[in-house]
């Protein structure tokens, strides 16, 4: 292939229902990542029945508000409703099941998801053109926030294939009270290494400064990518077609990670028990229990601590994204939630109306004000003074999703493309770092091994390497 696309076969292989990384099981390499996620059956779409699937929220009240708004819409339209949750992580089986449902002609009408790669769904040709809905949303609610990289992730050949719903950023959270006790100014914690030293400094008996997992999870994947990118490592060149993972920069990142998670090394005192195998709930639970000092999260832990009046909330300090080692900014946000309508759905027009209903401030703003950073607007005019005033840190979030030239994220220096979603779905990053932490491979060996697997993945998908 000569263009920036992976074949349909390659996409489906990358998101196979066997679960990420499980293809390595036969190699004799033990797997640090979780077992494959539970199999969740998708509802069957049918004419006259609005079928909606949505992600499971860590913040139950927000999830209930979302479902209540969907139910109110269905009642107003006098239509039967089938609403359920799904595991839409890219390492789950969502893409494979949705592809089969579209081919069978009975997919759900509407999905609200976060971590499904839109470029993969576009490559699989399983989603509707929703340009008219996005254009109408912009007309009503203003421009899409420039810092969330919406167009490069959801618009292809001039057509929107999913509707931006949430304008999000990652929450980098420190225990401000612990920093103050040690005389550490949060403003000085610019990069990953300074934050690692601070995490060690605030550690003590039954309190662990470092709450970041390298395990297969949304938070773990985001953290590991941040480390590799901070050191200058990257998956491919600017075209997205030539694998360049095996580099001195990536090896240096792996060495840093090996040093960080060495249970016999300098930083052992800051590591919570079992942090190497946490899932996305691990850091939430530890933070809310008051046992860790630094973590990153998709604001769910922040929202939960705010809602429950947890003692950690008033002593939580929100930091900007850590800079790269060379000082380059990594600020920016991402589309934290997409509204998607599937091809061959029985009720496309009704699903488009539902999408606009969910963005309407009468439904969106109360959920956003409540959910403590989880549900922030993707559209400029929804960032009202009242909303920003609802939380002391909302203004910081708005700054991050407003940057005019946001960092591209995991695909840097290339733009998002299906092949990157396939890398994530295979769990190659987490698996290779796990091999280093468990001392099964040296950093150099693990990087080369991951590089070779990415090459194989690309070539099986039709992107031949030189």
Structure tokens at 438: 């468990």
Name, of 44-48, 126-130, 331-335, the range with top average pLDDT.
126-130
Residue range 297-353, pLDDT digits in tens: 878 888 888 888 999 999 999 998 899 999 998 888 889 899 999 999 999 999 999
Backbone φ and ψ for 68, nearest 5 degrees, come out as -65, -40
Is the pLDDT at 103 greater than 90? The verdict is: yes
Q: Which domain holds residue 364?
A: 13-169+333-401
Is the pLDDT at 5 greater than 90? The verdict is: no
Out of 93-97, 237-241, 448-452, least confident range = 93-97
Count CB-CB contacts under 10 A for residue 26: 7
Domain assignment present for residue 161? The answer is: yes
Domain assignment present for residue 229? The answer is: no
Rounded mean pLDDT, 428-447: 97
pLDDT band at 37 (very low <50, low <70, confident <90, very high): very low
Q: Is 339 helix (H, G, I), strand (E, B) or coil?
A: strand
Is the pLDDT at 296 greater than 70? The verdict is: yes
C-alpha 350/C-alpha 48 separation (Å) is 10
We report the CATH number of the domain holding residue 19 as 3.40.190.10
Q: Count how many domains the chain has.
A: 1
Across the chain, mean pLDDT equals: 87
- Percent of the chain exceeding pLDDT 70 equals 89
Length of the chain as a residue count: 466
Structure tokens at 19: 């679960």
Q: What's the whole-model pTM score?
A: 0.76
What is the reported pLDDT for 299?
83
More confident residue, 170 or 117: 170
Q: Evaluate whether 313 touches 221 at the Cβ level (below 8 Å).
A: no
pLDDT band at 58 (very low <50, low <70, confident <90, very high): low
C-alpha 357/C-alpha 258 separation (Å) is 48
Helix (H) / strand (E) element for 316: namely: strand 316-319
Q: Is 368 helix (H, G, I), strand (E, B) or coil?
A: helix
Q: What is the DSSP string of 291-311?
A: -EEEEEESSHHHHHHHHTT-T
Question: What is the distance, to the nearest Å, from the Cα of residue 225 to the centroid of all Cα atoms in its chain?
Answer: 11
What is the reported pLDDT for 164?
97
**Using alpha carbons only, how large is the chain's radius of gyration in Å?**
21
Residue range 347-376, pLDDT digits in tens: 999 999 999 999 999 999 998 888 878 889
Task: Kindly compute the dihedral angle of the four CA atoms of residues 305, 207, 217, 304, in this order, to the nearest 10 degrees.
Answer: 0
Is the pLDDT at 162 greater than 80? The verdict is: yes
C-alpha 236/C-alpha 455 separation (Å) is 10
Is the pLDDT at 87 greater than 80? The verdict is: no
Backbone φ and ψ for 448, nearest 5 degrees, come out as -65, -40
Domain assignment present for residue 141? The answer is: yes
Q: What is the DSSP string of 84-119?
A: EE----TTSSHHHHHHHHHHHT---SEEEESSS-HH
What is the reported pLDDT for 36?
36
Q: Is 133 helix (H, G, I), strand (E, B) or coil?
A: helix
C-alpha 293/C-alpha 193 separation (Å) is 15
C-alpha 120/C-alpha 417 separation (Å) is 7
Domain assignment present for residue 326? The answer is: no
Domain assignment present for residue 53? The answer is: yes
- Cα-Cα-Cα-Cα dihedral sign, residues 430, 297, 330, 156: positive
Residue range 279-290, pLDDT digits in tens: 888 998 999 999
Domain assignment present for residue 426? The answer is: no
- Percent of the chain exceeding pLDDT 90 equals 65
Long-range residue pairs from 137-140, CB within 8 A, at least 24 positions apart, any chain: 137/163, 137/164, 137/355, 137/356, 137/359, 137/379, 138/379, 140/356, 140/359
Count CB-CB contacts under 10 A for residue 186: 14
Q: Evaluate whether 3 touches 409 at the Cβ level (below 8 Å).
A: no
Residue range 407-437, pLDDT digits in tens: 888 899 998 888 888 898 889 999 999 999 9
C-alpha 118/C-alpha 153 separation (Å) is 7
Structure tokens at 162: 């999913």
Q: Is the peptide bond before 380 cis (omega within 30 degrees of 0)?
A: no
Helix (H) / strand (E) element for 50: namely: strand 49-54
Domain assignment present for residue 154? The answer is: yes
Domain assignment present for residue 71? The answer is: yes
Q: Evaluate whether 58 touches 284 at the Cβ level (below 8 Å).
A: yes
CA-to-CA separations, 168 to 367, 411, 415, in angstroms, rounded: 14, 18, 19
Structure tokens at 115: 């971590």
């Amino acid at each position: 292939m000569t263009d920036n696309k992976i074949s349909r076969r390659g996409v489906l292989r990358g998101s196979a229902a066997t679960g990420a990384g499980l293809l390595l099981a036969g190699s004799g390499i033990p797997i640090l990542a979780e077992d494959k996620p539970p199999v969740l059956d998708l509802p069957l779409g049918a004419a006259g029945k609005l079928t909606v699937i949505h992600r499971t929220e860590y913040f139950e009240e927000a999830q209930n508000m979302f479902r209540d708004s969907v139910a109110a819409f269905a009642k107003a339209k006098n239509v039967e409703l089938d609403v359920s949750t799904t595991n839409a992580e890219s390492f789950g089986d969502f893409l494979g099941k949705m592809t089969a449902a579209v081919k069978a002609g009975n997919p759900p009408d509407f999905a609200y998801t976060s971590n499904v790669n839109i470029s993969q769904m576009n490559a699989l040709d399983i989603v509707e053109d929703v340009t008219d809905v996005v254009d109408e949303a912009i007309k009503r609610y203003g421009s899409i926030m420039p810092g969330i990289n919406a167009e490069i992730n959801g618009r292809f050949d001039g057509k929107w294939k999913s509707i931006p719903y949430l304008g999000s950023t990652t929450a980098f959270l420190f225990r401000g009270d612990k920093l103050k006790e040690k005389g550490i100014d949060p403003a000085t914690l610019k990069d990953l290494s300074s934050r690692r030293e601070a995490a060690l400094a605030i550690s003590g008996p039954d309190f662990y400064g470092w709450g970041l997992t390298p395990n297969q999870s949304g938070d773990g994947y985001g953290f590991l990518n941040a480390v590799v990118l901070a050191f200058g490592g990257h998956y491919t060149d600017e075209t997205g077609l030539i694998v360049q993972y095996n580099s001195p920069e990536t090896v240096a990142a792996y060495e840093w990670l090996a040093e960080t998670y060495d249970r016999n090394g300098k930083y052992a005192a800051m590591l919570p028990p079992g942090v190497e195998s946490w899932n996305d709930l691990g850091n939430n639970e530890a933070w809310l229990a008051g046992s860790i000092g630094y973590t990153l999260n998709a604001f769910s832990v922040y929202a939960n601590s705010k809602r429950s009046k947890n003692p950690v909330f008033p002593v939580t300090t929100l930091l900007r994204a850590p800079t790269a080692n060379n000082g380059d900014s990594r600020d920016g946000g991402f589309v934290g939630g997409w509204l998607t309508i599937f091809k061959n759905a029985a009720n496309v027009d009704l699903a488009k109306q539902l999408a606009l209903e969910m963005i309407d401030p009468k439904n969106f703003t109360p959920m956003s004000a409540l959910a403590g950073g989880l549900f922030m607007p993707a559209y400029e005019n929804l960032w009202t003074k009242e909303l920003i005033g609802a939380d002391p840190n909302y203004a910081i979030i708005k700054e991050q999703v407003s940057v005019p030239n946001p960092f591209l994220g995991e695909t840097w220096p290339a733009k998002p493309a299906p092949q990157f979603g396939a890398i994530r779905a295979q769990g190659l990053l987490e698996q290779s770092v796990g091999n280093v932490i468990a001392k099964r491979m040296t950093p150099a060996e693990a990087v080369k091994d991951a590089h070779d697997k990415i090459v194989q993945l690309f070539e099986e998908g039709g992107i031949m390497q030189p």
